[in-house]
A and B are shown apart, each in its own frame.
Chain A
């Protein structure tokens, strides 16, 4: 599975959009981009995934570049409860997920 690179931490303001970048320059054609988050002391929570088209659900939007070498997770209106570690994972459907270090996001009032 392709590796991902994420910034170790970032801050964002409550009520503003949070844009979380992820680089995955070695992604293969059959590999998806998955995003999970882990709120302190809890189990990880699935957010969204995509292959090449942009995706949106009730939690977030996922923007994947045309060359698929990077993506951005967008939390449209960050709240204090969005403070968490966000994991970007790439892998083929059915392959085991590999969780890296993630981005520690702190939403500030």
Chain B
């Protein structure tokens, strides 16, 4: 199993450009998450998804959109990139507990380093 993979690994954008980050998982997990991590800081949740076709806002959703058209993929979009969005972006996934809540053992991808000039 590849686990959680992210594409691309690195990207440099100019202010105002758009891009999409792709996350894929092969563990048949229901829950998927997008986090950002700024230098020296912990991770902050951007958006998450509880299943195919559903998404929800996290702690810092502004400036980002997401889509979960297939269970194994979770896309993060930046419509008009800003320098404040320079960060490392991590995707994660988790399975379901018996009660339908997400298992808090999350599996993380290797990250995408994004620089916005």
- Chain A contacts to B: CB under 8 angstroms: 32, 34, 41-46, 49, 87, 91, 93-102
Contact = CB atoms under 8 A, between A and B. Distances in A.
Interface residues of B, number: 27
Contacts, number: 56
B48 interface: yes
Interface string B91-112: 0100001011111111111110
A94 B101 contact: yes
A49 B42 contact: no
**Chain B interface main SS type:** loop
B42 A34 contact: no
Contacts of B97: 93-94
**Chain A interface main SS type:** loop
Contacts of A97: 45, 104, 106
Given A44-B43, A44-B90, A101-B42, A49 B109 contact: no
Nearest to A43: B108
Contacts of B106: 44, 46, 97
A32 B92 CA distance: 19
Contacts of A93: 97, 99, 101, 103-104
A34 B103 CA distance: 11
